[in-house]
Each structure stands twice: as C-alpha cells, then as structure tokens.
Structure 1
C-alpha cells in the first residue's frame, strides 16, 4: 500500500524530468533515442487513433405488435430480418403458402411435427421443398431453424 502511494507521488516528478529531457534533447537534435524509450511523451498527436470513417449505422426496427414467449420471439426475429432485407411481403406470402400447404395436406403437417422423424430428415425435406418453391433465404433459414429446434 505504501509502495503504491510512493509510485503515485513520484509520477509527476518523472513526467517533469522526461519533459525537460525532451526539451534539452531537442536542442541537441537527438530526439530519436527518446522516442524509443518513451514514445508517448514525444509528439503524441500523430499517434492518436482517430477514426477516419464512420461505421455503417444499423437501423433499429420496431416490431408493430410485441409478442411474448417462444413463438413471439421467433415471429419478432422473422419480422426484423424481413424488414432489414426489404422482403417483408415476399416472406409473408411464403409463410402463408407453407401454412396453407400444411392445412391442405395432413401428411405434410404431421411430418413437420412428428418428433419420431429425425431432425436432419425433416430439415433436409424442408430445405428441398423451399428450394423447389424458390423461397427467399430468410424463409428457408427460418423454416429450417424452426423444424430443427422442435
């Protein structure tokens, strides 16, 4: 504890010595050896890391209807992804098409919900169906994730 306070009290003195040393070294023309020993005290302005370009700002998307629970989180994530990709209408129509296909075909509906079928098989089938129907990547990824997680 005492050693730490001694170091803190001697820091201003060390700084003063180094600054006076840089003035006398500048008069002699030998700043090169000082920059190797203590680069922060010699011309620190160019060594600052200022940003030259601003990063791309991410647009905050607000969900129109806040849903809760697991299905609400999935629905919100799908909505945000579709809005960011500017394909909201296409994703909506693709989801409606899948829902209608499940209503029309009880076999397809049972296949997607049947946990006795391995998840890999269900995901592979959904990927083939969505590729055949030329669904967007957002819808393909969403359906694959939903099928794999249940």
Structure 2
C-alpha cells in the first residue's frame, strides 16, 4: 500500500511521509491470532512534512493541538482482522482529520437583536401564563 493519501484536490500526502507500525490486536482472531500483526499505528508529522501547504500548517497545528505529540498525529486502528483493511481505515481517518483541521473557519457571528414582534409575542405569552396561574387556587378552607 504505497499510494499517496488524497486530502483535498490540491493536497496529497506521499506515502514516504507516513510512518506505520504494526502490532498484535486484542480480541478474537481465529487461527492467525498469534502471528498476525493486524493493529496499525499511522503517524504523520504535520509540523515538518513538506507536503503540508504553508498557509494550512499553522491552522492544522492549532486545531489539532489536542491530538498532537511534538507536531505528529498518530492514528491507531484495530477494527478489522486484516492488516490491509486496518491500514486503509487509518489512512481514511487521517485524511478526514486533516480535511476538518484545514477547513476555513466559520464566518463570524453577527449579533442580532430580537424584532419588535417577537418581543411582543413573548410578553403576551408571559401575560397569558401569569393570568392562568393567578386563576388557580384561591379556594376555600381545606376540609
């Protein structure tokens, strides 16, 4: 599996910039449980990778800071019994994380004020509710 990861139309990560480690996965495995290293740890160095566009590097480092260790992001997958399937899943997750981290920030929210009609409807509802409550009780003595 030496193909590059396609993050966006213009951004691709060559497999040479990725580091993979394999180990035994926990859980059921059948006959190959003692020999198959199906768990995959995929590591990508965001801080030093030449494929990361310069204008996105700082945004990625800030947005993914909780998941980074020394500028590297690591994704561990042990969902499938096949190493190849776990490698594919890890690469898809890395691409998705990088896509989300590189997305432009949402537009800034402009504060708005409630309309006159919405204020009047709110006050009318409060008045109805208070009159309903005022009409309750007021009965005679408890017997």
Which structure has the larger Rg?
1
Q: Do they fold alike, i.e. is TM over 0.5? A: no
TM-score tier (shorter): under 0.3
| Higher share of residues assigned helix | 1
TM-score by length of 1: 0.23
- Structure with the bigger RCO (C-alpha within 8 Å, sep 6+) is 2
| Higher share of residues assigned strand | 2
